[in-house]
Chains A and B, each alone.
Chain A
């Protein structure tokens, strides 16, 4: 009798285990499904609308078929260059401070915390702040202001990865450099940063991939431009911005271009994320063991 009760308890427990496993599998499937759906649809729609003109032509006026997004591709390039020039040096330097100079101080905890908070600030709010700082004082929308907004958004990711990567560098490596009489800054730049460079590049690429798809802060900083432009003090087009404008438009041909633009953007991002995966899987630190 007791054995039977025990046995039925066992069965129930086994069933519960199966039930939980089934639920988890189902959950994972439901999570993966939209991703596959989005990718399949994107490739299906995007590939059929991609052509040479997409890369070499600027948009046609409303109602005319054809045209491309050369302006947006060039514009995204300009914006991301400005953003990287701002975000990466500041981010890396801040990371160096946190890892090398202020491990346990109140100040560095404060900086660490603000970096995390900045990471969570909605991108559109960053856009408004940059708008009232640069666009209002300059009295016109500009590529520069868009780059600043994106650069600000890159900083926290770069900082936190730099710090983490530097902390992985063994102390003996620093001590060896200092023991040879090398000044502290030189040891940091040529030894520590170099040892952690693969990991830091990873962080920079992650930050880059993140801001490459940002639209909201560009709405009232870069603003968009139907012509190709390289000028920093003029409004400029950007790929995500152009996708947004075309996606909410009522024209079929513009929808087609929006899909093609999305495919190009995703391709860019997926390539950089996969590159990051590849680099990190080969070992984050080179030379340090």
Chain B
């Protein structure tokens, strides 16, 4: 009895040295405690409701963001209709708006980023999980995590001061000489360009893709690897036969998650893409993305139609990223289901 009481006191976070010395005549401490707590059903219900309300808050926030964007952009939606999405006019003076250059810029810069980041991040993940000596593994994964922790604006600053001049003086002239005939690398070279945005986005989404790939690959059972090795496979064959096929859905999920991040990335892109609402074939020409037009023009929008058009761009961006993220989560869930995991 006394042992139980002492435990109960620890539970309550109190020390009560007199607990074991209670007189027999009085009701026991446990009984008094239970009497005092007889309305615990009520407090439990209250607690549960409070927790439920918080959980529902998340749902309400997402719903609210959607409704607010849709409501605030109703003027532009009514005025331009569906043509808003494919017209390329952007003229605040004559109040003529179309989102095509921004949608184009967002898509092209993100795809460019994926093109650069996917092979690199998957090979890094393969290296870290399958080939790397154990002591190096921890520090390498820590380094890639650090890469994810650097704020977007610092990437932008670095890109503006280091990457853009580097592109302008070294890399772009080379690309123009060797690949100029494709038409993707031609025209005046400002440094700030779609290419610069793609490169900095690639650096920013590398850690996301690579950490999820790593996580998914580590859920592949060790016995699969051992089976392949026992059949005489080399390490690369083991990876190709038994690791990559099992992880491919999850890797696809990681790639799509990276795409989602790239689509919505604002600051670094705004700083290096050149901010010109025109569609050009050359990757060396300046462009504009949905997120960066919001960052640049939102506080300057003078008329309500202008503001409404900008918010509609925000709505489009919101819907696109929701679809992309939902897809990514479903893919990742389908692989890591059952395994305890933490997604950044």
Contacts and interface: CB of A to CB of B under 8 A. Distances in A.
B58 A121 contact: no
Interface in B124-164: 124, 126-128, 130-132, 140, 142-147, 149-158, 160-162
Interface in B240-298: 257, 260-261, 263-267, 271, 291, 294-295, 298
A58 interface: no
Interface centre among B72, B261, B324, by most chain A C-beta atoms within 10 angstroms, is B72
Contacts of A25: 127, 131
A30 B127 CA distance: 12
B68 A132 contact: yes
Interface in B48-64: 48, 50-59, 61-62, 64
Contact of B152 (A13, A183, A215): A215
Contact of B11 (A35, A160, A190, A209): A190
B153 A97 contact: no
A47 interface: no
A101 B48 contact: yes
Contact of B318 (A125, A177, A190): A125
Contact of A214 (B51, B151, B260): B151
Interface stretch (A49-57, A61-69, A225-233, A259-267): A259-267
A285 B47 CA distance: 24
B157 A259 contact: yes
A274 to B, nearest CB: 8
Contact of A30 (B68, B120, B294): B120
Interface of A: 13-14, 16-17, 19-21, 23-28, 30-32, 34-35, 37-38, 41-42, 89-91, 93-94, 96-98, 100-102, 107-108, 110-111, 113-126, 128-129, 131-133, 152, 155-156, 159-161, 164, 167-168, 177, 180-186, 188, 190-191, 206, 209-210, 212-216, 219-220, 223, 240, 243-244, 247-248, 255, 258-259, 262, 265-266, 269-270, 273, 277
28 contacts: A17-B234, A24-B130, A24-B131, A28-B127, A28-B132, A31-B147, A38-B155, A41-B162, A93-B53, A93-B55, A98-B55, A116-B325, A116-B343, A120-B264, A121-B321, A125-B318, A128-B69, A129-B65, A129-B69, A132-B311, A161-B342, A215-B266, A220-B299, A248-B160, A265-B151, A270-B149, A273-B145, A277-B142
